[in-house]
Structure formats: structure tokens, C-alpha cells
Amino acid sequence: MELPDGLLSTACAFCDSPLVDHRLEETERPDRVVPFRVPRARAGRALAQFLAGEWLAPEALRRAIRPSELSQVFVPFYCYDALVRSEFTASVGLYWYRTETYTTTVNGKRVTRTRRVRETEWSPLSGSHARRWFDHLVSASTGVPEEEANQLEPFDLGLALPYGPALVAGVPAELPTVTHEQALKVAGEELAALERKTIAQSHLPGDTHRRLQSSSRVDVDVVRLVLLPIWTAVYPGPSGPVRLLVNGQTGEVVGAVPRSTWKIGCLIATVLGLIGGFVAILFAGTALSTLMVGLAELLGAR
């Protein structure tokens, strides 16, 4: 029997018995599998909770407690161990304090006081940073774009098991649709960004910094293909189906929920109304006080 294109394993449509394509296993054999820890019921609850919190979403979508389709799938990810070395230049700021005298009025008298004013002294610095990064994940599926995958993370790869057909049998497991070259490029860019963040947060000396520039060289030690557990849910939305993803290990929900234009319109109208009302009160108050002053002057003149 042939499996649908792009799948390594699935369940038989007729008898629901687990199927694994052993020919594909030889060419695209995954290295590790993270098993599902979130059962169907918990994934459903997580989705309902997530939608309930999205109060700008169309009401029809928020009330859809049950997705029309909730299915589990093993999504392939490339997992990188890499040694990254970076060079950086930055302007490092060190604080110093000067004492300033100023005059002020206290109880109608002018007095001279002193205060401490913080100044920053900037010095250029160039240096380097190195770090070994482990288990950096890049989505190998065009169905789960890298941006969405990053939001779904983290996955605890410490709980991953060495791949065996028994681990994926009965659950659809996708084959990689992103090439090694594409994924490697993404990994390099992401690791360079992580390095830059690490340099900014925990490597630069001093009190503050600006104009940080860094360039990184990524040496990949190990690439593994791992299968990660994901629940996919599809809801009928007003303008096409809405797809949400649930991390099958942590229960984290990710997905772009459409905003109701009607609700946003109401919100804008409310805010504008409030501002308008406030301005009107201000104007009325000013006019009233002018009137009172005028009246008082009039009475005083008499």
C-alpha cells in the first residue's frame, strides 16, 4: 500500500491500523522523536481557553468550542548543535555623577541647593564572543512556517527518544519539505541573532551600550532530524478557515486569529466618544467659569 505523498507514517483509512513507509524510512529516517504528552481532550481545552482570551476575534469563532478538525501530526524539524564565534563592536557607556548647584524657592525665599546628576561616558569597544548552542530547532515543514514554529517552542528535547517506527505508527508523520540548505541558512541567521542578543545582555561590560554590531561564524557540529508532536486545529472563520497549532508536549497554543472589524470599529468609536466627551466637558467648564467671572464683575461694578 502507498502512503499519501509527504507522509512517513499514518493510520489506515479503512481499518485505522498503523502504517509506516519502510522504503522512505531508509532515505529520510528521523533521528529522534518527541512523544505526545498532551492528549486530545487537553489540547481541546487549551484551544477553547486560548480563543476565550482573544476578545477581539469574531464572536462566532470565540464561541466555536470544538474545532471542526483536530488532528495530531509529527512535524519534522532540523535540530542543530553548533559552535558560534562572533566579533563585535559597540559603544560602551559608563555612568558617572557630577554635583550641580541650583536655586529654588522655598516658602517664598530663594535658596541654593545641590543635586547629583548622572552622566554617561562612552568608549568604543571591540571584542569577541563564543558559545556552543545545543538543540537549535528549525522547522523542516513548509506547513509550519519558521515564525510559527518559533512561537510553539520550546520543546524539551531531553525527552526525545531514538526513532523507531513503533513511536510514530498510527500518527501521521510528515517528511521534510524544507531542504537542508534552506534550513541551514535559517539556522545561521537565527543563531547570529541569538548571539547578538547574548552579547548585548550578558557579555558587554559597563552600565549601558549603543551601536552594537556583530558578525558571527556558525560551525555546525551535528544536524539531526527530529519529529515533534503537534496538534492542528481548524475552525470555520468568517473569511476562510482559521488554523491553530498546539504544542503536543507543553500545550502551548499558537496561531493568527482574525480580528472582527465590527468589534474594532466599536472600540474606536468608544475611544473617540470618550475623548469627545472629555473635551466637551473641558470646554463647558471654561465657558461656565468665564460666565461666572463676567457675572461677578458685573455685580461688583454695581
Partner 1 sequence: MSELAAVRCRACGGAVVARATAPLPTCLFCGGIASDLVPYEPPEDVEPPEGALPFVCTEEDARQAFRTFARSSFWYPSDLRSASLDLRMLHLPAWAWSGELESHWTGLVRASTRSGKRPVAGAESRHFEQVLVPASPSLTIAELAALGAFDESSLVAFHPSRAEIPYELSEMTRSAARQAAQREMSRRHRAHLEASHALVKSRLSSVCLSMQGRPVLVPVFIGAYRYGDQVYRVLVNGQSGELQGSAPISLWKVAFAVLAAAAALAGFALFVLSCTGALAALGLM
In the complex, which residues of this chain contact partner 1 (CB under 8 A)? Answer: 83, 85, 92, 94-96, 119, 121, 123, 125-132, 198, 202-206
CA dihedral (273, 276, 282, 285) in degrees, to 10, reads -70
We find the least distance from the C-beta atom of residue 14 to partner 1, in angstroms, to be: 44
Cβ proximity to partner 1, 221 vs 297, nearer residue: 221
Minimum distance, C-beta of residue 132 to partner 1, in the bound complex (Å): 5
Q: Which is nearer to partner 1, 88 or 231 (CB)?
A: 88
Residue 15 Cβ vs partner 1, minimum distance, rounded to whole Å: 41
Nearer to partner 1, 168 or 199 (CB): 199
Rank residues 32 and 129 by Cβ distance to partner 1 and give the closer one.
129
Tell me the closest approach of the beta carbon of residue 194 to partner 1, in angstroms.
13
Instruction: Locate 54 and state its grid cell.
Output: 482573544
CB of 197 to partner 1, least distance (A): 13
- Are 103 and 113 contacting, i.e. CB atoms less than 8 angstroms apart? yes
Nearer to partner 1, 68 or 128 (CB): 128
